[in-house]
């Protein structure tokens, strides 16, 4: 059966019209980005913070070495500055997510009268330290030392600085506090105090823990 010539012309014209319309529709933009898997987790560009970097300080003892036993006392009455000597021992009793707690015992002058304190500290992964010292008897804030974890001689030291009220004036002190472990000479004979660490700490209550 022969088709009418006009039918062929109409079909060709329709095809040409469709091609022209398709040419006017913009093609999807090409992208060099890889396809995203909607199920796969998106990687974070933030650094992974090692909150537990300093967890090893739990149940450690920190003391003032011989060259750090000196402080400066300022008398409000006479407005004078005087060198003082003493020893401070930290027993860090708990650590959680960059926070630590412990007992702090301070003994100044040869009378070795103890000052009993608790510490709540914060230490960043980079080693910056901020502490709040509380009176162990009434919970009042005694001072807020600043510190930094610094390696010296292949060991970590805690470089602390503070100024606190003391007997009608203030006492300013800084030191590279160092660890002392059972078996070390300083564990049995503390600089300046000439007491063992257990004896030095025995006059004050043990350090608290962080409630979970």
Domain residue ranges in the chain: 55-201
Segment 153-181, tens digit of pLDDT:
999 999 999 999 998 999 999 999 999 99
pLDDT, tens digit, 9 for 90 and up, residues 30-60: 445 445 455 555 555 665 678 999 999 999 9
Which residues, in sequence order, are CB contacts of 204 under 8 Å at separation 6+?
A: 103, 105, 114, 116, 117, 136
Q: Which CATH code fits 55-201? A: 2.40.160
Q: What is the pTM of this model?
A: 0.77
Q: Give the model confidence (pLDDT) of 92-141 as tens digits.
A: 999 999 999 999 999 999 999 999 999 999 999 999 999 999 999 999 99
Comparing CA positions, the residue from 96, 97, 125, 127 lying closest to residue 208 is 96
* Confidence (pLDDT) at 50: 86
Distance CA 118, CA 182 (A): 22
Question: 3-state DSSP call for residue 184?
Answer: coil
pLDDT score of 17 more than 80? no
Task: Specify whether the CB–CB gap between 141 and 133 falls below 8 A.
Answer: yes
Strand intervals (E) in the chain:
60-63, 70-75, 80-96, 99-108, 113-123, 128-135, 141-143, 146-152, 155-165, 169-179
Answer whether 176's CB lies under 8 Å from 160's CB. Answer: no
Residues 6+ apart with CB under 8 A from 209: 93, 94, 101
Cβ count within 10 A of residue 53: 15
152: left (phi over 0), alpha (psi -120 to 50) or beta: beta
Spatial distance between the Cα atoms of 175 and 39, rounded to a whole number of angstroms: 53
Q: Do 104 and 117 form a contact (C-beta atoms < 8 A)?
A: yes
What CA–CA distances, in Å, run from 184 to 93, 159, 179? 20, 20, 10
């Amino acid at each position: 059966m022969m088709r009418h010539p006009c039918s062929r012309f109409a079909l060709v014209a329709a095809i040409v019209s469709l091609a022209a319309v398709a040419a006017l529709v913009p093609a999807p933009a090409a992208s060099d980005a890889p396809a995203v898997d909607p199920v796969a987790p998106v990687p974070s560009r933030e650094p992974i913070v090692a909150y537990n970097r300093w967890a090893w300080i739990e149940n450690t003892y920190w003391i003032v070495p011989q060259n750090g036993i000196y402080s400066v006392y300022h008398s409000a009455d006479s407005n004078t500055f005087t060198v003082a000597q003493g020893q401070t021992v930290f027993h860090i009793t708990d650590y959680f997510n960059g926070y630590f707690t412990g007992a702090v015992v301070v003994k100044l002058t040869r009378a070795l009268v103890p000052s009993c304190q608790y510490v709540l500290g914060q230490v960043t992964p980079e080693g910056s330290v901020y502490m709040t010292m509380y009176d162990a008897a009434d919970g009042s804030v005694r001072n807020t030392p600043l510190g930094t974890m610094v390696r010296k001689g292949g060991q970590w030291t805690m470089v602390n600085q503070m100024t606190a009220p003391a007997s009608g004036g203030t006492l300013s002190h800084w030191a590279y506090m160092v660890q002392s472990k059972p078996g070390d000479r300083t564990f049995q004979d503390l600089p300046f105090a000439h007491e063992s660490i257990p004896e030095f700490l025995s006059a004050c209550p043990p350090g608290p823990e962080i409630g979970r």
